[in-house]
Structure 1
């Protein structure tokens, strides 16, 4: 009888410990896997019990799991709060500090979710131009690109149907910067894989010399594409940040400082290099995350 009671108590203790563990999620894409591993490994190093639910799925699934209490923390992008709260046109989401402040205040009030400080990297849609072409034409911004297109340059851009057709992507750039790409100047590829569009531009496939990109794409780091600045801030700011349930942060307040330190060092250039290791070289996201955290002295 005594042995049975001891076994029951041990089982209850194990269940209670698991119930208190922090469930760490992430999106299923390459960058999501990397950022999720950074969160997971930081928490483990702090002695916080964790359950690994990284690479759970797309934004809609991961976000719903967090709001419903099925996840405790995952990396999200500040600009997505504009969509969550139907504030896409709010100019605050075009400015890094205001975007973070607004995302944090809206989610705290509506869902008791806390946005920790974001990375400086901004992962938004952009246009990249083959490096040698950009240097020869003096292209650094979308204003330069507009001038180049309007001057009759031989421009051909590869992008997904979503990028070419979405009001938030190429049409928005064209309207704001005053240029138009004809149908024969576009190579529309199935799906949204930017590695395919970047490859087309870098290798000049079918005459392509420009590409849709996400600004933290790993392929940028190895192909030498020039990513054009968006000085009019047409795109919303998408800085990644850990988002955690308020009750979980109260339970484990020690998670805040190391998580913010881990994200603070993720510049665009740094994130591109890390993404290249998973996207291009095929390295495991957990290993890449651990190497990064060791470099930042956040892991031994």
Structure 2
């Protein structure tokens, strides 16, 4: 009863955030109806009361609603806490037992939550490491998606063709006047940020052209407009295809891996093992390109994240319209 009351309070807080104009308008707090398709109805979930928690940015709003719709369609009574402020708010809900399922990122788990300084090279290896470590906290990290929402640098396609660059190691071949960068303030000063990245690729600050420190959203438009050639981006951001940007390959694997994984409380998964099968039909389909497209529907076209989530599930044949 206490946990359920707390869930209601968190849901109310999420609605209040939206009402105050902070964050995107979304269908958080309700679960859009759908009918079974490839995701079937499970008898074992008929008495299941499950709470899904997701953070308050576009991709998480889509994913939280996607999970909520899938589990509800399979028969569970789902409370949708998408739009929970901050990573640590979502994490606390899982740890405290106030939420049961959450979309997360392996790098966030390993570095931010578990306090490790060094990422693990390799997608499978990073997932295994965070999975084993977080088992002590009563959490299961299900097999990760191909999508890796990490830092990267992008360049507008026209300029990329002109310079002939596809990967970051090629930047040492360019003249300084072409090595212009746009970065956000936090990235400019991080230990795993701009200058360490340059060092990994054999570049020094005095070998560069202009380096601009801009707000995150401005970085994308400044890169697309040619204010700088190389802009710091996140690899699943919908503005990448929308602004016709090319992501450079991190061919020396400097950036930590942030593969998407569904995290479930161990005791919940033991009671309702069908959750893994249900979410396992979704996760392998989530690539960087898919998430870029879905994020763009919200950020560029103004669609509701819950509707975007359900439309994608329908298009994939996982659920059907009611």
TM-score interval for Structure 1 and Structure 2 normalised by the shorter chain: 0.7 to 0.9
Q: Which residue of 2 is the match for residue 119 of structure 1?
A: 145
Identify which of 66, 81, 86 aligns with 2:115.
86
Structure 2 distance, partners of 1:67, 1:146, is 45
Contact 1:125 1:215 in 2 (8 A): yes
The structure with the largest alpha-carbon Rg is: 1
Question: CA 1:70–1:18 in 2, change beyond 3 Å: closer, same or farther?
Answer: farther
**Separation in 1 of the partners of 2:152 and 2:205?**
15
Q: Deviations over 1:232-263 (max 9, x none)?
A: 11111101111010111122211111212111
Deviation at 1:273, TM superposition (A): 0.7
Contact 1:22–1:72 (CA under 8 A) maintained in structure 2: yes
Residue 106 in structure 1 maps to residue 133 in structure 2:
yes
Match of 1:241 among 253, 258, 261: 261
Shift of residue 184 of structure 1? 6.2
In structure 2, what is the equivalent of residue 63 of structure 1?
Answer: 91
Number of corresponding residues: 274
After superposition, what is the alpha-carbon deviation per residue over 1:203-228, rounded to whole angstroms, capped at 9, x for unaligned?
12xx3222110011100011111111
Question: Could you tell me which residue of structure 2 aligns to residue 6 of structure 1?
Answer: none
Identify the residue that residue 175 of structure 1 maps to in structure 2: 199
Distance between the aligned counterparts of 2:121 and 2:298, measured in 1? 29
Q: How does 1:138-287 map to 2 (within 5 A)?
A: 138-148=164-174, 151-181=175-205, 185-190=210-215, 193=216, 195-204=217-226, 207-287=227-307
- Counterpart position of 1:14: none
TM-score computed with the length of structure 1 as normaliser: 0.87
Shift of 1:18: 12
Note if contact 2:46-2:75 (Cα within 8 Å) is conserved in structure 1.
no
Compare 268-277 and 251-260 and name the one that shifted more.
251-260
Q: Could you tell me how far apart the structure 2 residues matched to 1:294 and 1:199 are? A: 32
Deviations, residues 2-57 of structure 1 (Å, cap 9, x unaligned) = xxxxxxxxxxxxxxx99951110001011111111111111011011111111111
Name the SS of the counterpart of 1:164 in structure 2: helix
The answer on whether the counterparts of 1:43 and 1:255 sit within 8 Å (CA) in structure 2 is yes
Structure 1 Cα separation of the partners of residues 172 and 62 of structure 2: 35
CA distance in 2, matches of 1:42, 1:87: 33
Alignment partner of 1:274: what SS?
helix
SS of the equivalent of 1:94 reads coil
Which SS does the other structure have where 1:50 is aligned? strand
In the TM superposition, residue 170 of structure 1 has moved relative to its aligned partner by 1.3
Structure 1 gaps, min length 5:
1-16
State how far apart, in whole Å, the 2-side matches of 1:145 and 1:296 are. 39
CA distance in 2, matches of 1:105, 1:155: 41
Q: Distance in 1 between matches of 2:265 and 2:283?
A: 18
Measured at CA, do residues 88 and 115 of structure 1 come closer, stay the same or move farther in structure 2, by a change above 3 Å? same
Asked if the contact 1:79–1:237 (Cα under 8 Å) also holds between the matched residues in 2, the reply is: yes
